[in-house]
Chain A
Amino acid sequence: MLEIKNLHASVGDKKILNGINLQVNPGEVHAIMGPNGSGKSTLASVIAGKEEFEVKKGSIALEGEDLEELAPEERAHKGIFLSFQYPVEIPGVSVTNFMKTAINESRKARGLEDMPANQMLKLIREKSEMLEIDRKFLSRSLNEGFSGGEKKRNEIFQMAMMEPKLAILDETDSGLDIDALRIVANGVNKLRGGENAIIVITHYQRLLEYIVPDFVHVLHDGKIVKSGTKELALELEEKGYDWIKQETVV
């Protein structure tokens, strides 16, 4: 599904990613962990196509197609979804209107007609119930005045609506209390399986109790320094990241 080869990326003169290799197959959940500043969010942004970051070397391919020349919206049309660590506010644009626009733009790119209103309504109802989202919430301006938890839940709601092939969750657990975390994880797990793949970026092991990963990778200085199964996450929780850092030096 996703194949990253020897990826180097910088912002300005600053090198952030220094040769990432990652293979994500359909149906898999990968967790990417690592200390602050290790390049986790940058990796997410680079996959999504944020212009600020310059890819110096290497490649990213989705289902065998090189993404380099594709604009962020084209990547989205191909099924890449990024749940933002800091979702932005768009005053005056309701969650519903935003979703309607997003879904129809993606459909248009695939040569499909706009989704009929009743179908859209059904979809909204289904997904908002799944994530225990109040109907009133959907008429509010996108992220404006949302609490940290509401913003994250809204991201997952959008993910559920758009049914992406590859979802990247960037620090989705930050700002969530335990109940919200459970609801969000439940939403993510519903998407799981079949052909979809998920990359979970997180600091802590906590989220991984709810979204159990198939693989865990540790990022340090822009490189994946260790990969393993879910047990690795537990080990990290116990020993901290210094252990990894030292190991790298050795």
Chain B
Amino acid sequence: MAYTEEELKKELETKEYEYGFYTDIESDTFPKGLSEDIVIAISQKKQEPEWMTEWRLEAFRFWKEMEEPEWANVKYEKPNFQDISYYSAPNKKPKYNSLDEVDPELLDTFKRLGISLDEQKKLAGVAVDIVMDSVSVATTFKKTLAEKGIIFCSISEAIQDHPELVKKYIGTVVPQKDNFYAALNSAVFSDGSFCYIPKGVRCPMELSTYFRINQAGTGQFERTLVIADEGSYVSYLEGCTAPSRDENQLHAAVVELIALDDAEIKYSTVQNWYPGDKEGKGGVFNFVTKRGICEENAKISWTQVETGSAVTWKYPSCVLKGDNSIGEFYSIAVTNNYQQADTGTKMIHLGKNTKSTIISKGISAGQSQNSYRGLVQVNSRAENARNFSQCDSLLMGNRCGAHTFPYIETKNKSAQIEHEATTSKIGEDQIFYCNQRGIDTEKAIALIVNGFSKEVLNKLPMEFAVEAQKLLEISLEGSVG
């Protein structure tokens, strides 16, 4: 028969994590705990130059003095930072010349993730730098990129091969002591991606990285640095999936974007870390610091689809330093069962005629809590700054929550700031209407959610949009209520 609120809720709760599997690959894992010795050991393991080791130690010292922030609208048991192993790398370390050399189990993992490398190679010019448990194991399309002078590699490689660039830019957007998690990341980051687009170059393909937590009890501390030199353009895709696990896993990434004069960076994320089970057990803690700086006429656009993690704390931000620079933030955040998300953005207007746009779509189901937190700040010399913010929340059932915390601070009278917010609920009437047209409940929810999220989905690169749409369907399968 048809369905009631109660049945819907039940259906919602039976959704299992699709990528819940664990790959047994031999790893090289450090003992648990964090100290100066561990920081030094990580740095040595990666054969880093001394300046890098020092930089990490400096961050560690800041971190020791800092406290975990508590202002976010999330509740969780704080991780014991001494009970985490800070380094884990797949044992078969050498880079592979062909796929045949790769551990078959690893290949199988990729296949189950739907990102088989050979397919990727053939498909639509996407170069994939896969980070699996902290160390890059495969990089493709490097050659094509190299011809344009584009550097796309792991941050460890960049530290070895392009120390001048790393040294110049790392920590300039997110300083070591920016916040608790950023300091932790700066001290112990294991790997991540590095990208440099030379002056005037338009990157010919979408650069894509898949992150993945794979080792029980190891935190992931990714560090990403993207530099778009004057007049260049790059579109960067970051996608995450993680296998299921009982204990909480900590993920504290830092992403820094630098858009020099007239440059444009488009950074898209699909985040699907393990959200925990339907009782709220397990799941990833995702405490991420993402920030970009725009010089004159530059543009940074963040697009994110957040469906995973037990707890999300994430505010991709833009510092609009240069005159006429533009910052954009498009976000879809889905929470289900006991997930909690506190996410949004910061738009810091420093330059004249700077513009920012914020479109946030929050979808809450089950007993989850979904918060938008955004800051629009206009400094005194930022003449004619403009911002438009729109925050929409969609609720399913009556046990979840949607919250909006907009902060607006302006010190310049010429600023124009608009904020719109709506809250709606998927109703039984909407579902019945779809049912009556032959559309079953799951499909109906997918349709309604996709309609709600359309403005943001449209901002994603084509191939990513399809994946994101599927992810929304999976995350909310059978939900509403």
* A and B held together in a complex: yes
Binding site for B on A (CB under 8 A): 48-52, 69-73, 75-77, 81-82, 84, 87-93, 97-98, 101-103, 105-106, 109, 141, 158, 162
| In the complex with contacts A50-B2, A90-B447, A90-B448, A77-B438 CB distance below 8 A | yes
Q: Are B452 and A91 in contact (CB under 8 A)?
A: yes
Our pick among A73, A87, A92 for the contact of B439 (Cβ within 8 Å) is A73
Question: In the complex, what residues of A have CB within 8 A of residue B430's CB?
Answer: 88-90
Question: In the complex, what residues of B have CB within 8 A of residue A88's CB?
Answer: 427, 429-430, 433
User: B246 within 8 Å of A by Cβ?
Assistant: no
Some 9 contacts from A to B, beta carbons below 8 A apart, are: A71-B2, A72-B436, A88-B430, A90-B433, A92-B450, A93-B450, A102-B438, A105-B438, A109-B438
Q: Are B435 and A105 in contact (CB under 8 A)?
A: no
Task: For the complex, give the distance between the alpha carbons of A73 and B434 in Å.
Answer: 8
Binding site for A on B (CB under 8 A): 1-4, 424, 427-430, 432-441, 443, 447-448, 450-455
Question: In the complex, what residues of B have CB within 8 A of residue A102's CB?
Answer: 434, 437-439
Task: For the complex, give the distance between the alpha carbons of A50 and B436 in Å.
Answer: 9
Q: Are A51 and B447 in contact (CB under 8 A)?
A: no
Question: In the complex, what residues of B have CB within 8 A of residue A49's CB?
Answer: 1-2, 435-436
Q: Are A72 and B451 in contact (CB under 8 A)?
A: no
Task: For the complex, give the distance between the alpha carbons of A87 and B427 in Å.
Answer: 13
Distance (Å) between the CB of A49 and the closest chain B CB?
Answer: 5
Question: In the complex, what residues of B have CB within 8 A of residue A98's CB?
Answer: 437, 447
Q: A69 — nearest CB in chain B belongs to which residue?
A: B1
Our pick among B438, B440, B447, B455 for the contact of A93 (Cβ within 8 Å) is B447
Task: For the complex, give the distance between the alpha carbons of A25 and B45 in Å.
Answer: 82
Task: For the complex, give the distance between the alpha carbons of A103 and B440 in Å.
Answer: 12
Our pick among A51, A73, A97, A158 for the contact of B440 (Cβ within 8 Å) is A73
Task: For the complex, give the distance between the alpha carbons of A35 and B3 in Å.
Answer: 30
Q: Are B438 and A106 in contact (CB under 8 A)?
A: yes
Q: Are A93 and B451 in contact (CB under 8 A)?
A: yes
| In the complex with contacts A51-B4, A71-B1, A92-B438 CB distance below 8 A | no
Task: For the complex, give the distance between the alpha carbons of A98 and B2 in Å.
Answer: 20
Task: For the complex, give the distance between the alpha carbons of A88 and B434 in Å.
Answer: 9
Distance (Å) between the CB of B470 and the closest chain A CB?
Answer: 15
Question: In the complex, what residues of A have CB within 8 A of residue B3's CB?
Answer: 51, 71
Distance (Å) between the CB of B432 and the closest chain A CB?
Answer: 6
Give 20 A-B pairs besides A73-B434, A90-B430, A90-B447 with Cβ atoms closer than 8 angstroms. A50-B2, A51-B4, A70-B1, A71-B440, A72-B2, A72-B436, A73-B437, A76-B435, A76-B438, A77-B438, A84-B436, A90-B434, A91-B451, A91-B452, A92-B451, A97-B447, A98-B437, A102-B437, A103-B438, A105-B439
